[in-house]
């Protein structure tokens, strides 16, 4: 078994939201690696970062990605999961979709909450650094890039399902 669609992209690109919509429309389960890590650890990601550090979070995330790739349905990854070379290698052969978003739109969507520890401080600056560094990695693993600016999760899902049918 393996997921029919895997979504990657920066925070605020809409991976979790769109994956939920795709799963509902396809009538299959939705898995999200951030949720899996939180369930397994029994605490929110923001607490894992503060108490145990990012490196520890990345270890938990690596294991969660590997496990989730053994299940069917639609899978959304955490924004930084593709930083891991083993994860990128494991994604080969899957239908991976990069949800693209501009800096301004992503910053608006994530707001100023504390649930995304890597964006604390100046959200726009952190987001810009993170997007610049990761864009080549998102592109490397993706079979399809879908722009999400000015589009609803339903519009984004329509495009992905249409491409899935003709792939």
The binding site for substrate comprises 34, 58, 79, 134
* Shortest distance (Å) from residue 29 CB to ligand ATP: 17
Asked if 116 interacts with ligand ATP (CB under 6 A), we say yes
* Shortest distance (Å) from residue 66 CB to ligand SKM: 15
* Shortest distance (Å) from residue 53 CB to ligand SKM: 12
Residues in binding contact with Mg ion, number by CB under 5 A: 2
Asked if 116 interacts with ligand SKM (CB under 6 A), we say yes
What is the 3-state secondary structure of the chain? CCCCEEEECCCCCCHHHHHHHHHHHHCCCEEEHHHHHHHHHCCCHHHHHHHHCHHHHHHHHHHHHHHHCCCCCEEECCCCHHHCHHHHHHHCCCCEEEEECCHHHHHHHHCCCCCCHHHCCCHHHHHHHHHHHHHHHHHHHCCEEEECCCCCHHHHHHHHHHHHHCC
Which residues contact ligand ATP (rule: CB under 6 A)?
Answer: 9, 11-17, 34, 76, 78-79, 109, 116, 148, 151-153, 156
Name the residues that contact Mg ion, by CB under 5 A.
15-16
């Amino acid at each position: 078994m393996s997921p029919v669609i895997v979504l990657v992209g920066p925070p605020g690109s809409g991976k979790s939201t769109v994956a939920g919509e795709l799963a509902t429309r396809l009538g299959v389960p939705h898995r999200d690696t951030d949720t899996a890590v939180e369930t397994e650890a029994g605490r929110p990601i923001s607490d894992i970062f503060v108490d145990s550090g990012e490196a520890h979070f990345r270890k938990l995330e690596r294991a969660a990605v590997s496990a989730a790739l053994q299940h069917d349905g639609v899978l959304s990854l955490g924004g930084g999961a593709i930083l891991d070379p083993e994860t990128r290698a494991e994604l080969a052969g899957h239908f991976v979709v990069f949800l693209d978003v501009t800096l301004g739109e992503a910053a608006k969507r994530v707001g100023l909450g504390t649930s995304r520890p890597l964006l604390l401080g100046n959200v726009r600056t952190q987001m810009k650094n993170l997007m610049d560094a990761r864009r080549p990695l998102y592109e490397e693993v993706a079979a399809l890039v879908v722009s999400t600016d000015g589009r609803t999760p339903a519009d984004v899902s329509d495009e992905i399902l249409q491409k899935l049918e003709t792939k």
